């Protein structure tokens, strides 16, 4: 009898402890992601706790957030900033083509959602930035299926580049910033200014400001920035990379020379596994992958070319395409690849070991260490894409559960 009473009191104590949200959260914070996601079926209360933004923020301080690739968005640069006499998109061509690589991507591709928001511009932590330059912009959250129409910008830029920054954790409330920067090629002043306009979702307003930079720095028009840990990286003329930290009070654009050969055909930027900026370029013969040192990322200047063209960068991989294909005889024998040029396509999300490459309309996943290649099967008409004029960006969605119970006004009962 005494043992039964002790057992019953122990069970009652566990139930009492689990009835407290604070104690339940402390327990769940110690559970790995592959297990904690399966616990949402225990009860509505557990579902609400795990899917809440507060728990998500605390959980991601201990565990990394996983992402799933849904496919590749295609943005034809010929249609961006098109004047009255510019190239018009045929009606048979979708404004926002998606080369889907999974069922969830197929559902997104064939839904009517993508037809509402214009062209694909960029994505950040699962959020999509879409619209039509220079007035209409939308942000869409594929997890909640909610979208927000951004107010019309206050300043007109004839040529511009953009940046999209979203918070690192999934949330019901979309928290993000959109930056528009003017592209100016004037070289007259000793120190020139770059006008920018920043939209903040928390204030729902555009704020105009200017950044100072050296006169030799000119941003590449109609490009999209790569954001690493909140720092914006834009391509600039003469193989420069412009760097802007919105959290830095100096309000300036610093720059650093891009490494490698000037005889490249394709180039891409991305974030490495250890949170550093990585740069890849390819030519007919092969590709190189470089990583920017952390101290250089924080204190970039404009280095001269006299003997230090790759200052601040470390070369991680260099490979020859001909040698690579010889190591993959299965694909080497395909007639469709024999006469097609191989190019680097994109980095994966926070990945330092693999890149996506392209040969004609075929996309492959290349493991840089052993140079093994795997085909990426996608749903889409790759042969109809103007690859030479298009930016093909992989789209990753946060692998975090979502519940309508976490929406405002919803209860757990």
- What averages of pLDDT result for each successive group of 10 residues across the chain (413 residues)? 50 55 88 85 85 83 87 88 68 88 92 86 94 91 86 94 86 83 76 92 95 91 94 94 91 92 89 94 95 65 46 93 92 62 94 94 95 93 82 90 60 48
Supply the pLDDT for residue 295.
54
Supply the pLDDT for residue 298.
47
**Whether the bond into 134 is cis, omega within 30 of 0:** yes
Supply the pLDDT for residue 146.
86
Cα→Cα distances 300→183, 203, 242, 250, 290, Å: 20, 31, 9, 13, 16
Cα→Cα distances 83→56, 131, 223, 266, 320, Å: 45, 16, 17, 26, 41
Give the CA count within 13 Å in the CB-facing half-sphere of 287: 29
List beta partners, residue 282: 266, 287
Q: How far is CA 388 from the centre of its chain?
A: 21
Give one DSSP letter per residue of 239-285, joined into a string. Answer: TEEEEE-TT-TT-B-EEEE--S-S--SEEEEEE-TTS-EEEEEE-SS
Provide CB contacts within 8 A for 361, sequence distance 6+: 382, 383, 385, 387
Q: How far is CA 139 from the centre of its chain?
A: 14
- Distance of alpha carbon 173 from alpha carbon 166, whole angstroms: 11
CA geometry: angle 124, 74, 199, nearest 5 deg: 35
Cβ 357 vs Cβ 339: under 8 Å: no
Supply the pLDDT for residue 407.
54
Cα→Cα distances 194→27, 162, 213, 245, Å: 50, 13, 7, 14
List beta partners, residue 205: 200
Cβ 219 vs Cβ 234: under 8 Å: yes
- Distance of alpha carbon 356 from alpha carbon 372, whole angstroms: 12
Report residue 408 as tokens.
């405002």
Supply the pLDDT for residue 405.
56
Supply the pLDDT for residue 86.
63
Supply the pLDDT for residue 4.
53
């Amino acid at each position: 009898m005494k043992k039964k009473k002790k057992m019953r009191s122990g069970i009652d104590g566990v139930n009492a402890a689990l009835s407290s949200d604070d104690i339940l959260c402390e327990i769940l914070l110690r559970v790995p992601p592959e297990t904690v996601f399966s616990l949402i079926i225990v009860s509505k209360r557990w579902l609400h706790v795990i899917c809440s933004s507060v728990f998500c923020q605390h959980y991601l301080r201990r565990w990394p957030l996983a992402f799933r690739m849904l496919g590749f968005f295609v943005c034809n640069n010929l249609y961006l900033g098109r004047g009255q006499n510019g190239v018009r998109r045929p009606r048979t061509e979708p404004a926002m083509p998606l080369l889907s690589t999974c069922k969830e991507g197929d559902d997104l591709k064939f839904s009517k959602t993508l037809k509402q928001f214009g062209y694909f511009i960029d994505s950040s932590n699962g959020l999509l930035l879409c619209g039509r330059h220079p007035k209409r912009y939308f942000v869409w959250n594929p997890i909640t299926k909610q979208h927000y129409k951004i107010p019309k910008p206050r300043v007109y830029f004839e040529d511009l580049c953009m940046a999209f920054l979203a918070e690192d954790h999934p949330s019901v409330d979309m928290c993000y910033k959109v930056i528009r920067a003017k592209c100016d090629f004037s070289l007259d002043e000793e120190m020139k200014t770059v006008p920018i306009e920043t939209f903040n979702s928390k204030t729902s307003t555009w704020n105009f400001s200017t950044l100072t930079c050296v006169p030799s720095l000119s941003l590449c028009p109609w490009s999209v920035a790569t954001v690493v840990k909140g720092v914006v990286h834009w391509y600039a003329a003469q193989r420069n990379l412009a760097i802007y930290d919105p959290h830095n009070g100096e309000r300036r654009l610093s720059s650093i020379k891009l490494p490698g050969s000037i005889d490249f055909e394709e180039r891409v930027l991305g974030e490495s596994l250890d949170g550093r900026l990585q740069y890849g370029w390819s030519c007919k013969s092969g590709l190189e992958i470089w990583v920017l040192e952390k101290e250089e990322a924080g204190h970039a200047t404009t280095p001269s070319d006299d003997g230090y063209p790759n200052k601040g960068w470390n070369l991680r991989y260099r490979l020859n395409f001909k040698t690579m294909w010889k190591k993959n005889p299965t694909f080497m024998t395909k007639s469709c690849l024999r006469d097609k040029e191989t190019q680097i396509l994109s980095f994966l999300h926070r990945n330092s070991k693999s890149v996506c490459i392209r040969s004609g309309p075929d996309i492959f996943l290349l493991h840089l260490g052993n140079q093994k290649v795997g085909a990426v099967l996608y749903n889409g008409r790759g042969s109809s894409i103007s690859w030479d004029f298009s930016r093909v960006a992989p789209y990753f969605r946060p692998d975090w559960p979502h519940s309508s119970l976490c929406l405002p006004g919803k209860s757990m009962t």
